[in-house]
Structure 1
């Protein structure tokens, strides 16, 4: 006599839920699988919302269809996967003792109870919303659901919005900024903290800030929204913490998300200190028959071992796949944790990161760290290479790679992926410095950008070079510090553009013959720079070999200088 089919219920139809259900079906053709989804749509590609709003593509169905162009609706799930997908249906209660889920069909109000052997909670997260006066005015939106994308796309197509503000200077905020800018809407990003893109160190974030302003958008930092202003129920502007009032027709709020854990909490499942559902490496909750995944859970940092929240679509899919396998083959799949890797497009720049920033490393207790900032092309200049500026972070004692940030129009994605894998494998700077990466001129330099970053960081760890950031140089200049600034570029480069900070030009090729122009005091601080720091490194080696003892290089060179320049 055969066993009755497994009864699997999945709550949540965005990313993790459908992935878990689909994986379970592939492993068990006979299981009874029910998918409960509050929204009308299923398996939405939410990371594509800004590009739909911005007009990169026009067919909304591309957000909810398979690579073959088939819309993932209940009929698709029934015919292709034999999954009973209940849309516009809200799970309202979990009875763990009876092993049932009560759900409500929203159009009719009909309530039904569905039994389960195994349950998956993938309830996602909800956008945070400023609790300030005027926050119920028409014209204030988020970009969290596909309905939000529909509404913003309609506003774009109608062309009636002239000025917009984006509240929040993170990933989503800048993706929305670009989408609105593409629609011809003047946009201002408002960030409450002192620096945009909080996963970047401030020096790289400052470069993005300058770049965004150069593309016609405004950025206000260190200032939050104190109130939304309006007339007759319609948004007309925002008031900032410092009292400034900005007129606008539209405000898009992108200040983060809060895990949707109400259903799990009411069912008595353990909730972590960060507000997400607690799960183990098998994605099981405190009830071994109940799994959870996606934006509603907490997971583990592979760098520190601490609990973290990581609301990213790719991780939701990975976690859903692990659950789907464990639903059928319990304990056979693990989700070990995350390195916090992300990427976004801001106009023609890519912004990518993996692992820890300097600030987060210090906060996590890594007190002895070293960083290296490098700039260079992704491929050779004769192949029309594009610029990247990157920062690599390592633990001084072990040499272990802790983080990497990269920005620019070059192929940032490839480099971030390389370092993300290195962090996952707990590799050291020495490992990366000798990495066997693919090389051909259409794809890379002979020494890839990541390897160059590792070489610079290795030199710093070994004491062969001392670096100083552009921000530190600016601070020295502003304070009138007694230092000698040496520009080692060519005269033509100097004529085309200079920093205008009292620098002395001595091209690196002429330096050995012009040492008399340098300070006689061999202990005087000398800061050297060039376009990207390579010539600066060579010049520093020359000077140190001739007895100068306080020579430093401005890391990243002039391209990493986020302040005004002279032309």
Structure 2
């Protein structure tokens, strides 16, 4: 009697192969078959923009093991004993018969196969706007290996002069960089008021200001029509009537879970459109599991379901599903804090946990702080980082961090992601025992300094004001005394231009009598990154002034136009 478990995995990108490989490690004798609609397996899809941009030239590097072996059907059979049917679409899941129906897309041959346990890892599909001209040649996404091949060919041939990228999210911005490296004149178009909507507005504005040095950036405006001649794209028309000539348009307006199979099989689908799973990655059918971009998973901070189409999470979910289909429900994937990072030319940009906007949506009483400081000492060519840290007001529990700049963003996000997962507080982080040496960090790491700032605010030692709030107060005509405590040479190079007064910190004690006579007048201090601004505020308060604020992030974090 054959007692081998029959395992079927639908999907061969990230979650599917991980589930199949984990299942094999748990059971050497299970019959495991993986179906993949496309021709490639285990594609490193997050690497597509870097292949397009020419960071490397061998497309097989997107399909290889760490030792350089291409993950094709022969590899999976020889190395793992897994049967892989590529170019084969699963067309139906028959839960009553516990079998699937499939079709070979090259030969047209159809067939059925039985399963004991099934894993759905069908991923997500790119959103395409339902607007006139969408069918024109020259309009693409960057969702598949074939998309990457198409854009890489455009880069290599160097025939296209102008392109637009529609959508200012992670993929859109990474695609923009890839095409910029090809020497193409670029315009980024975003319907919403800001790029990277997972960031709060000020942080996103800093990214936008930087990005404008590389490409044209249009926000608060969408594409109304694609314009073409002889079936080929020649331009886009925006909602405000502006026409932008281009020969290529990359649509990057997000993805949606691919759930047609699951839905047709009667599996439960969540409000966000993803397959509903429990902590074991088990669907509403106990013999069917799901993993990756096709699923909804819980946010560990808010408890609400989210869509989190990230390759790292897909692998973790697939690992849990693969173990559970063999061993029973022993492995868990509890959810996500939605950590994400991307490279934007010389900047890193990312977030972990909640943004301020998400904290407000979740009705959480929070405190926040912004730190602008280097990642390493100046003598080790330290580079600037901006971090916005958010914590629960009552407990000090870390809720979220956003970080950007030319410094080591990934390290900072890793620290804060670990703190959030560990439910650490601001007080825990002010004395974090992190590795220190000048080539790697400051004596007080940027993350610890950020915790110091927030702790000072929570203890009433630091009264901060964001640049956005300050600009709002200035625009409303509020009577403020704005004090720049940088050096005269810094002031000559760039300034806010909002009627500020320059008194360098080194002479502030001698010139304290030049401050307003009214000790209750609102005074806002700042410097380049507001470390000197903080010291100035402490000094001024010691002289009896009662309403002294520090502009967080300093002039380096001012997202509006400056005087030069």
Task: Look up the match of 2:159.
Answer: 160
What are the residue-to-residue correspondences of 1:414-493 with 2, within 5 Å? 414-493=411-490
Are 1:252 and 2:250 an aligned pair? yes
Q: CA deviation at 1:465?
A: 1.4
The equivalent of 1:12 in structure 2 is 11
Q: Aligned residue pairs: how many?
A: 564
Measured in 2, the distance between the counterparts of 1:88 and 1:138 equals 24
Gaps (5+ residues) in structure 1?
none
Cα distance, 1:480 vs structure 2: 3.1
Report the equivalent of 1:263.
261
1:381-420 mapped onto 2 (5 Å cutoff): 381-420=378-417
Correspondence list, 1:40-439, <5 A = 40-215=39-214, 217-366=215-364, 368-439=365-436
Following superposition, the deviation at residue 363 of structure 1 comes to 1.1
Cα shift at 1:322: 0.6
CA distance in 1: counterparts of 2:424 and 2:225, whole angstroms: 48
Return the alpha-carbon distance in structure 1 between the equivalents of residues 560 and 302 of structure 2: 35
Q: Quote how far apart the aligned CAs of 1:472 are.
A: 2.2
Q: Supply the distance in 2 between the matched residues of 1:276 and 1:462 (Cα, whole angstroms).
A: 43
State the 1:329 CA deviation: 1.1
- The whole-number CA distance in structure 2 between the counterparts of 1:327 and 1:243 is 55
Distance across 2 between alignment mates of 1:49 and 1:287: 35
Distance in structure 2 (CA, Å) of the matches to 1:7 and 1:44: 25
Are residue 547 (structure 1) and residue 549 (structure 2) matched?
Answer: no
Partner in structure 1 of residue 38 of structure 2: 39
Q: Cα offset for 1:416?
A: 0.2
Alpha-carbon distance, 1:505 to partner: 1.1
TM normalised by structure 2 equals: 0.99
Residue 512 of structure 1 aligns to a residue whose secondary structure is coil
Q: Secondary structure at 1:298's aligned position in 2? A: strand
328-337 or 39-48, which moves further after superposition? Answer: 328-337
CA displacement at 1:3 relative to structure 2:
5.9
Q: Distance in 2 between matches of 1:481 and 1:186?
A: 43
- Give CA-to-partner distance per residue, 1:414-457, whole Å, 9 cap, x none: 01011011111111111111211111111111111111111111
Helix, strand or coil: the match of 2:562? coil
Q: Quote the Cα distance in structure 2 between the aligned partners of 1:190 and 1:356.
A: 26
Return the offset for 1:565.
2.4
SS of the residue corresponding to residue 75 of structure 1 reads helix
| Number of the residue aligned with 1:512 | 509
Separation (CA, whole Å) in 2 of partners of 1:385 and 1:539 = 24
Deviation by residue 1:135-189 (Cα, 9 ceiling, x = unmatched): 1111100000000000011111111111111110000000000001010011111
How far has the Cα of 1:385 moved from its partner?
Answer: 0.5
Provide the rounded CA distance (Å) in 1 between the counterparts of 2:17 and 2:406.
35
